[in-house]
Amino acid sequence: MRYIVFDIETQNLFQDVGSRDPAALDISVITVYDSGTDKYTTVDISELETIWPIIEAGDALVGYNSNHFDIPILNKYYPGDLTQMKSIDLMASIQDSLGKRLKLDDVASATVNAKKTANGLIAVKWWREGNIADIKKYCEQDVRVTKQVFDYAMEHGKVYVKEGTKKREIPIDTTLWKVREDAPMTHTLMF
């Protein structure tokens, strides 16, 4: 199965748009990792259309809090309907197992000894300063970290979080992650 691991950064915050609807926000940068080519692609909003062929080549989108945040934002730009594509949201899987949401940084540091390099608030600040290069580096690192956690969960059926000085195991049922789903054709590209 071909996975597209992705993350987006935004130009603005909920308080800027007066809404809690993620689709009210605007994309600044997106990074996608394509398991079919083993390549990372990072673009800013002006190059967004270049990632559609990558996404459309995939069988599943993989992200962290992507069902609630990234997909609704990205979908407003996409000419098709990304909600019809198989989605694997690591945060949602962790929440299903543990009963609460966890930060990517907390899971990644305990599971694969990886860290994020910034946060979304800093990325918005960088956008306002015109510092696109740092947003791209940060977004790509987020995708690398998400991919590492995803790969670990796929192989081991679990992830970890630190609780004090100990690690707590969080079982993750990945059986459906490996099942290819037939979705209605929502692609925008000519085949």
**pLDDT attached to residue 122:** 92
pLDDT number for residue 120: 82
CA distance 63 to 87: 8
Question: Please, what are the averages of pLDDT over each run of 10 residues along the chain (191 residues)?
Answer: 97 93 96 98 97 96 97 95 95 95 94 86 94 96 97 97 92 90 56 41
pLDDT for 180 equals 81
Assess contact for 63 and 6: CB atoms under 8 A.
yes
Q: Would you list the DSSP string of 96-122? A: HHHSS---HHHHHHHHHS---SS-HHH
Give the per-residue pLDDT at 191. 41
For the stretch 151-161, what's the b/e string if a residue is b when 16 or more beta carbons lie within 10 angstroms of its beta carbon? ebbeeeeebbb
pLDDT at 183: 56
Domain boundaries, the chain: 3-175
For domain 3-175, the question of CATH label 3.30.360.10 is answered with no
